[in-house]
Chain A
Amino acid sequence: MSALLEIEDVTMRFGGLCAISNCRMTVPAGITHGIIGPNGAGKTTLFNLITGIYRPTEGIIRYKGRKISGQRPSRIALEGIGRTFQNIRIFKSLTVLENVRIAYDSQLRYGPMESLMRVGRYGRAEDESIARSMELLEHFGLSGFASIPASGLSYGSQRRLEIARALALKPALLLLDEPAAGMNTGETSALTEFLRDIRDHFQVTMILIEHHMHLVMNLCDKITVLDFGRVIADGTPAEIRANPRVIEAYLGESTE
């Protein structure tokens, strides 16, 4: 079985600080992979490396067998990696619909001249992009808000919009950075169901960073534990729960 994502001995240094050191990780297609670890462990940095926001100091990242480290973030996104951000990064003053359309735009095939003269493929492509984006919003229960500015959405809806937007890229791999941040226990279990539904409906491989143990243990097939930029454990939820190093480094301080 060939892996969807392979991280090979990746190191990321910021000046003297080693945010990720010699990280190895393999994510096969079709699974949901959790990344946990204390604050500052390097989880977000790992996402930024995968999506090309940072270039690894050392090491290689492969996606579908092809090297993606060193590519531009837009190129990596178009290869089929969608993501959300720990601190929501939606396009605030654009409408909810426009947020999704921007991600969908990369699939539209028309040239500048066609859009200038409003001829050729332009009209149909735009109509189709609106229709598809509305479908997506419908699925996320956001279609009623399509024409309001995204900043007008509630916090939870903004998080959902961010996921919808990422899915508009039609990614094979979806990276979620703390999707349950700021949610209470009830909301978190609803999110668990929601993410499960997304995974099945859109057929994406997911990697998610989470602090809510419940969500991670319930949803993930595999878990990687990071601490000070190092992978300290790797395995199924049951293995992770039983791993003494993990309990010491992470679960020990905040069991939930």
Chain B
Amino acid sequence: MENIRRFCVRLADRRWILPVLLVLGMTFCVVAESTSLLNSYTRFVLTAMLVNVILCVSLNLVNGYLGEFSVGHAGFMALGAYASAMLTTCLFPQTPALFIPAILVGGLMAAVVGFFLALLSFKTRGDYLAIITLAFLMIVKSALENISWVGGPRGLAGIPTLTTLPIAFATAIITLWVIRNLIYSKFGRAVVAIREDEIAANAMGVRTREAKILAFTVSSFFGGVAGALLAHQITFINPGSFDIVKSTEILVMVYLGGIGSLAGSILGAVIFTFLSEALREYGTWRMVILPLILVLLMIFRPRGIMGLRELPWFLPRRELFNRRKKS
């Protein structure tokens, strides 16, 4: 056991492993997509896993790094999914080249709404984010159900399958990269300081409101991006796909893998994806098991597996220099 631990620690210190993994991962994705190396089910699950990584790391920005409690992530997915699917399905069908701009439009749509939601939520001192995001989630759902040109309650069907394994992989990497670069800067430190002690952060010159709005907007953007990818993976979306159950799933990933950790977000998404595939045959029982896992996690391990710890692979070099001395 001790040997395994020591091996892991040594592995964690080898930073060159990360770029190697990235290249291998991308190669694998390209090969898997163009050959029959994997069956379509496995490809589907892997793609879903990568989308889950995006969801998990982006929600972690708000729920983990910032320390607020948002339950609205599925709402941002919905915005991203619908906005991008409208582009690729209704406005410009048969132009797959438009997929990347469509993903961006999905993300921007979510970000704009996220920005205004944050403006509203963080106006006062009180933390009503959970309630406001819950309301937002319900509003998005009923709005989509009542707008006939996006399909109403029946949703949008016939969305082209554009989310390939390499695209999902690349998007997940970009998401991780952006959020990592944000976290290890003065902007990210401000966000983390708010979680630690908002009053002290204020007294140290942190513009808390701006920092919160920034974190929430970036989080929403990637929620929208993930929604866009999902829409073009499952090719059919309806308002019911983006309900509180979906939000709960993302919350489970975040609190399972670990708050305030990129490595934790990846771990949470991976474990969750496989767990949820394994539970698929139990149908509605998932609806009981998932919230139960969330409650148990919040009670017994509120910070999750990695909780506030980070794999050295993800740390910028200058941050690493300082952490080394710990051991």
Measured CB to CB, the residues of A under 8 A from B are 51-53, 72-74, 77-78, 82-83, 85, 89-95, 97-98, 101-103, 105-106, 108, 110, 112, 115-118, 122, 126-127, 129-130, 146-148, 165-166, 168-169
Task: Tell me the smallest distance from the CB of B21 to a CB of chain A, in Å.
Answer: 20
Select which of A53, A94, A129, A148 is within 8 A of B196 by beta carbon. Answer: A94
Task: Tell me the smallest distance from the CB of B200 to a CB of chain A, in Å.
Answer: 4
Select from chain B the residue with minimum beta-carbon distance to A134.
Answer: B322
C-alpha gap A127/B186 in the complex (Å)? 12
Contact with A along B161-205 (1 / 0, CB 8 A): 000000000000000001001100111011011001101111111
Select which of A53, A72, A82, A165 is within 8 A of B199 by beta carbon. Answer: A53
Q: How many A-B residue pairs have CB under 8 A?
A: 106
Given A101-B189, A115-B186, answer yes or no on A91-B308 (Cβ-Cβ < 8 Å).
no
C-alpha gap A122/B182 in the complex (Å)? 11
**Does B5 belong to the interface (CB within 8 Å)?**
no
C-alpha gap A103/B201 in the complex (Å)? 8
Select which of A53, A126, A147 is within 8 A of B318 by beta carbon. Answer: A126
B203 touches A51 (CB 8 A): yes
B residues near A83, Cβ cutoff 8 Å = 203
A122 touches B185 (CB 8 A): yes
Task: Tell me the smallest distance from the CB of B157 to a CB of chain A, in Å.
Answer: 37
Given A73-B203, A89-B200, A93-B308, answer yes or no on A98-B186 (Cβ-Cβ < 8 Å).
no
Task: Tell me the smallest distance from the CB of B15 to a CB of chain A, in Å.
Answer: 16
Q: Which of B113-121, B206-214, B241-249, B269-277 contacts A (4 or more CB under 8 A)?
A: B206-214
Select which of B178, B193, B202 is within 8 A of A72 by beta carbon. Answer: B202
A91 touches B208 (CB 8 A): no
B207 touches A74 (CB 8 A): yes
C-alpha gap A91/B153 in the complex (Å)? 47
Select which of B182, B203, B325 is within 8 A of A77 by beta carbon. Answer: B203
Select from chain A the residue with minimum beta-carbon distance to B204.
Answer: A103
Select from chain B the residue with minimum beta-carbon distance to A47.
Answer: B203
Task: Tell me the smallest distance from the CB of B196 to a CB of chain A, in Å.
Answer: 4
B323 touches A147 (CB 8 A): yes
Would you give 28 A-B contacts (Cβ < 8 Å), ordered by A? A52-B202, A72-B202, A73-B202, A74-B205, A82-B203, A85-B200, A85-B203, A89-B203, A91-B196, A91-B197, A92-B196, A94-B192, A94-B196, A95-B323, A102-B189, A102-B204, A105-B205, A106-B205, A112-B182, A115-B181, A115-B182, A116-B178, A116-B182, A146-B322, A146-B325, A148-B326, A168-B204, A169-B204
B199 touches A89 (CB 8 A): yes
Interface size on B, residues (CB 8 A): 31
C-alpha gap A52/B214 in the complex (Å)? 23
Select which of B186, B199, B316, B326 is within 8 A of A147 by beta carbon. Answer: B326
A residues near B208, Cβ cutoff 8 Å = 74
**Does B324 belong to the interface (CB within 8 Å)?**
yes
Select which of A105, A110, A146 is within 8 A of B189 by beta carbon. Answer: A105
B residues near A51, Cβ cutoff 8 Å = 203
C-alpha gap A98/B189 in the complex (Å)? 8
C-alpha gap A117/B322 in the complex (Å)? 22
C-alpha gap A148/B203 in the complex (Å)? 23
Select from chain A the residue with minimum beta-carbon distance to B209.
Answer: A72
B193 touches A112 (CB 8 A): no
Query: Top 3 closest A-B pairs, CB basis?
Result: A115-B185, A91-B196, A105-B186
B residues near A93, Cβ cutoff 8 Å = 196, 308
A residues near B202, Cβ cutoff 8 Å = 52-53, 72-74, 77
A91 touches B200 (CB 8 A): yes
Task: Tell me the smallest distance from the CB of B113 to a CB of chain A, in Å.
Answer: 20
Select from chain B the residue with minimum beta-carbon distance to A78.
Answer: B205
A112 touches B203 (CB 8 A): no
Select which of A91, A115, A165 is within 8 A of B187 by beta carbon. Answer: A115
B318 touches A130 (CB 8 A): yes
Given A91-B197, A147-B326, answer yes or no on A74-B187 (Cβ-Cβ < 8 Å).
no
C-alpha gap A53/B186 in the complex (Å)? 23
B186 touches A89 (CB 8 A): no
B196 touches A118 (CB 8 A): no
Task: Tell me the smallest distance from the CB of A173 to a CB of chain B, in Å.
Answer: 13
B residues near A53, Cβ cutoff 8 Å = 199, 202-203
Given A95-B322, A112-B214, A148-B326, answer yes or no on A102-B182 (Cβ-Cβ < 8 Å).
no
C-alpha gap A129/B190 in the complex (Å)? 14
C-alpha gap A126/B200 in the complex (Å)? 22
Task: Tell me the smallest distance from the CB of A14 to a CB of chain B, in Å.
Answer: 15
Q: In chain B, residues 281-327, which have Cβ atoms closer than 8 Å to a Cβ of chain A?
A: 308, 316, 318, 322-326
C-alpha gap A115/B187 in the complex (Å)? 9
Task: Tell me the smallest distance from the CB of A129 to a CB of chain B, in Å.
Answer: 8
